[in-house]
Structure 1
Amino acid sequence: MSTARQDEVRARIETELAEPLAALGLDVEAVELTPAGKRRVLRIAVDKDGGVTLDDVADATGAINRVLDDSDVLGEQPYTLEVTSRGVDRPLTLPRHWRRNADRLVKVTLADGSTVTGRIGESDDASVTLDVDGTAQQVAYADVTKALVQIEFNRKNEES
């Protein structure tokens, strides 16, 4: 399958799933379709405010199966469905990603090539405030080329 065709199929799957998953309070975060021998693997990442539970994944899997069973988007070739949460390794690309990761440490690469690491504070549809070593820094999403949450294994709880 050509790359353009794969992109078309992914976009159509995302469109067909948006409404049924929204009814469950979930957003489609990523749709990946990759060849795996004679089959394909369809991996769909979902997310919601407050995070995704195993029950959410089970509900999403049921809804996705119903939609795909009623659709011809994947054709006749068999596939394996994997439904997962967004995961911390995915870049922050939408305002909701920033909101859902409030208080997490993030490394941001800006359009000018510089990087800044700070804790996510208030965010809206256009920008985020980062706490960079105790100083608030406003960053417009339009200036961000890449943003990844940083894993913190030994973060001290401020309330302790």
Structure 2
Amino acid sequence: MSEHSTTGPDDRRRLAELLGPVVEDAGLFLEDVSLKPSGSGLVLQVLVDLPEDSTGSVDLDRVAEVARAVSETLDRTDPVPGSAYELEVSSPGATRELTERRHWKRSVGRLVRVTPVEGEKFTARLLEVGDDGVVLQRSHQAKKGMAPKLLEPETWAFDAVRRAKVEVEFTD
């Protein structure tokens, strides 16, 4: 849950218990739920993603479908008694931060920007995800215009990575 959220642990758990099955019935994963102040009201943010073993991203039709189902459930249960709120249902962006093992698993094959606990930032291809870490493959371009050379895959423990984020790739 983000640091600017007004959702307490009990509220978050209650909302997740209410909305988790609705999101799962739509074939998605409930990534996060939070209630935040916005102007004179509140925004109930629901973040959904594909299941861990899926590749690709959540398309807008699926987000709209799950938003309707979530809205219907909320209308029946009044989860924020006495408060008006706006519902926002979204999915992680193309450049999502990799904070949990499941995020890494969903990003196998993608380029990731890694900030290690020690050393310089680097970009590498995510090859595989294990229980304790990941296998990354960097590339080196000797001269501009030349094809990059793939370096040997490296194993990185999760606790050796301070921060990681998916990079957007542009192809020719």
Instruction: Please state which band the TM-score falls in when normalised by the shorter chain.
Output: 0.7 to 0.9
> Any stretches of 5+ residues in structure 2 without a counterpart?
140-149
Asked if structure 1 preserves the Cα contact closer than 8 Å seen for 2:6 and 2:35, the reply is no
Q: Which residue identity is paired with 1:148?
A: K
CA distance in 2, matches of 1:46, 1:96: 13
Q: Give the deviation of 1:118 after TM superposition.
A: 0.5
Pairing 1:104–2:110 present: yes
Q: What TM-score results when the alignment is normalised by the length of structure 1?
A: 0.81
- Across the two proteins, how many residue pairs are aligned to each other? 153
CA distance in 2, matches of 1:68, 1:86: 22
CA distance in 2, matches of 1:107, 1:31: 26
2:87 pairs, out of 65, 78, 81, with 81
CA distance in 2, matches of 1:88, 1:32: 21
| Partner of residue 40, structure 2 | 38
Q: Which runs of 4+ in 1 moved over 4 A?
A: none
| Partner of residue 13, structure 1 | 15
CA distance in 2, matches of 1:79, 1:89: 28
Superposed CA offset, 1:58-109 (max 9, x none): 2211221133223343222111111111112431112221122222111112
Identity of aligned residues (%): 35
Pairing 1:55–2:47 present: no
- CA 1:110–1:81: 2 relative to 1, 3 Å: same
Deviates more, 1:79-88 or 1:121-130: 121-130
| Partner of residue 143, structure 2 | none
Q: Give the deviation of 1:145 after TM superposition.
A: 2.1
Q: Give the deviation of 1:37 after TM superposition.
A: 2.2
> Any stretches of 5+ residues in structure 1 without a counterpart?
none
Q: What TM-score results when the alignment is normalised by the length of structure 2?
A: 0.76
Mark the structure with the bigger radius of gyration: 2
Q: Which residue identity is paired with 1:140?
A: A
Pairing 1:25–2:31 present: no
| Partner of residue 93, structure 1 | 99
Asked if structure 1 preserves the Cα contact closer than 8 Å seen for 2:37 and 2:43, the reply is yes
